[in-house]
Amino acid sequence: MRVLTSRVFSSPLRLSWRCSRSFHASPAYRDTIDLAYDLHDNNGQATGAPILILHGLFGSKKNNRSISKALARDLARPIYAIDLRNHGESAHTKTHNYTALAADTEAFLKKHNLKDATLIGHSMGAKTVMTMALRNPDCCADIIAVDNAPVDAALASDFPKYVEGMRKVEEAKVTSPKEADAILEPYAKSLPVRQFLLTNLIRSPSEPLKFRIPVRTLTHALDDMADFPFTDPEKNRFNKRALFVRGTRSHYVSDDVIPIIGKFFPRFELADIEAGHWVISENPEEFKRGEYYLC
């Protein structure tokens, strides 16, 4: 894993990891929801500053179970793996944008009295922690944004296909994961991706399988997930440490956006990990090598 530390770049560079575009301040978001979570504290031995880890679109806290347990053990810091709204065991609501996601997570920090937290987010979770840091820099000690950048950028074309496939699965009223996989295959060719999406399937007594997540709501939210709510780094800037991690086979953090990252997060570091978009699950050992950043 190659690493360089830098401030604001005048030209795009290719960098790597080692152990911190803006809008006007957004108004307070009042309709927050209580977030489901799992606490990993190494049987009570992890007593340091807390770490929150936020999943990506269509994910849940279960995706981060293994890495959370490992970080709690290695760093002696409690890890709160969160289900964001409309995901996992958290409540469903029609509003799904980064302002709402950030406000929910800020409310979680306050409710649990979590101070000096590190915020780790992947993809949708990455933009959520960036939004939190720029909205309210005092809410955390530092952030780690995994495979996303503080820019408006279209989601990979695969994501609309995924939601179309999931809607087809629900319409077919399937009764087994095998049936669901067969319907989803034309929309998600990769078996690991299908397995990831199908972790959202749940069974109710005497009823067809259905997705735990509100597929229609998230379909309508895809444009919001591509956006970023800040556009002026002169007005909103996070002057604490920020680590940006990108997959070498992913397009979400291109060299072109590095100067923009530097304007919003002037103390940022950038890490490259051999992986696609699902960096943590694809290469957890390489991701863990950045533990010293969290010490």
**Taking a C-beta distance cutoff of 8 angstroms, is the pair 80, 110 a contact?**
no
CB 76 within 8 A of CB 35: no
Query: Using CB atoms within 10 A of its CB, is residue 158 exposed (0-12), middle (13-18) or buried (19+)?
Result: middle
- Give dist(CA 208, CA 176) in Å, integer: 8
Task: Find the helix or strand (DSSP H, E) in which 250 lies.
Answer: none
Kindly name the residue from 40, 96, 122, 277 that is annotated as catalytic. Answer: 277
Beta bridge partners of 201: 211
Tell me the Ramachandran region of residue 13: left when phi exceeds 0, alpha when psi lies from -120 to 50, beta otherwise. beta
Residues 6 or more apart in contact with residue 228 via CB below 8 angstroms: 21, 98, 127, 130, 131, 150, 151, 152, 153
CA pair distance 105, 115, nearest whole angstrom: 13
Instruction: Please give the DSSP secondary-structure letter assigned to residue 42.
Output: T
Q: H or E segment at 226? A: helix 222-226
Is 112 part of the annotated catalytic residue set? no
Of the candidates 20, 123, 250, 281, the residue annotated as catalytic is 123
What residues form DSSP beta bridges with 270? Answer: 4, 244
User: Is residue 66 flagged as an active site residue?
Assistant: no
- Return the beta strands (E) in 23-66 as ranges: 37-40, 51-54
* CB-based contact 127:148 (threshold 8 Å): yes
Would you please indicate which residues are annotated as catalytic (active-site) residues? Answer: 123, 277
